[in-house]
Amino acid sequence: MQGEPEVAVLRLGHRPGRDDRMTTHVGLTARALGADRVVLPDEASGPADTIRDITGRFGGPFEVEVRGDWRPLLRDWAGVVVHLTMYGLPVQEVEADVRADHREGPVLVVLGAEKVPFEVYDRADHNVGVTNQPHSEVAGLAVFLDRLFEGRELDREWADAARQVVPQETGKKVVSLDDESSGEEGQDPDGAASADG
């Protein structure tokens, strides 16, 4: 988030077709919950485009990077590396240490798709379990980011948005911020955010 050391999310592995939705949601969750950047594998160019599109419409800053080899990024990361894994130490036991690390510098959060190579466990400064039960990288990321930011991410502000959702007790309201005539749009933003579906 702005004014804090960078938080980047590295998604390891992507099976085109099968993982498209999950990889897209890793990126959207990273963006929505306070990370500054997501790094996706080469094969995930489709999800990368979707995340960029949502950022263009609903604001940033948020960077989407696609790269072929994650090893140099992991090896050379000038900060702390957190690997989310069901085999790691319970998040509630390590979150204070991770927050202290984040006050000092950037955090790279690593998520798997399939089996994660052992070198990742070895390189990580913290192997962190969000429970020690198998579940989803999207759920693990969401809980971890909320613990990292202690809820501050829920109040973050968005720059350069073309559209803004106006919270409603009932129904859907979206305002267009695109032009000077900035006014209310239709009541259904779902077409604008296909990732919502």
Ligand X SMILES: C[S@@+](CC[C@H](N)C(=O)[O-])C[C@H]1O[C@@H](n2cnc3c(N)ncnc32)[C@H](O)[C@@H]1O
Binding site for ligand X (CB under 6 A): 84-86, 111-113, 115-116, 129-131, 133-135, 137, 140
Question: Of 24 and 161, which has the nearer Cβ to ligand X?
Answer: 24
Cis peptide, bond prior to residue 61, ω within 30 of zero: yes
- State the nearest-atom distance from the C-beta of 115 to ligand X, in Å: 5
Question: Of 55 and 85, which has the nearer Cβ to ligand X?
Answer: 85
Return the residue nearest ligand X (CB atom). Answer: 112
- State the nearest-atom distance from the C-beta of 190 to ligand X, in Å: 27
Question: How many whole angstroms from its chain centre is CA 64?
Answer: 10
Please, are residues 47 and 27 in contact by the beta-carbon 8 Å criterion?
yes
- State the nearest-atom distance from the C-beta of 172 to ligand X, in Å: 31
Which backbone phi and psi does 131 adopt, to 5 degrees?
70, 165
- State the nearest-atom distance from the C-beta of 12 to ligand X, in Å: 7
- State the nearest-atom distance from the C-beta of 121 to ligand X, in Å: 9
- State the nearest-atom distance from the C-beta of 132 to ligand X, in Å: 6
Question: Of 33 and 192, which has the nearer Cβ to ligand X?
Answer: 33
Question: Of 73 and 86, which has the nearer Cβ to ligand X?
Answer: 86
Please, are residues 42 and 68 in contact by the beta-carbon 8 Å criterion?
yes
- Residue 142 structure tokens: 């969401």
Question: How many whole angstroms from its chain centre is CA 19?
Answer: 16
What's the CA gap between 76 and 114, in Å, rounded? Answer: 23
What's the CA gap between 21 and 18, in Å, rounded? Answer: 8
Question: Of 134 and 191, which has the nearer Cβ to ligand X?
Answer: 134
Q: 145 CB contacts (<8 Å, ≥6 apart)?
A: 7, 29, 30, 33, 34, 35, 109, 153
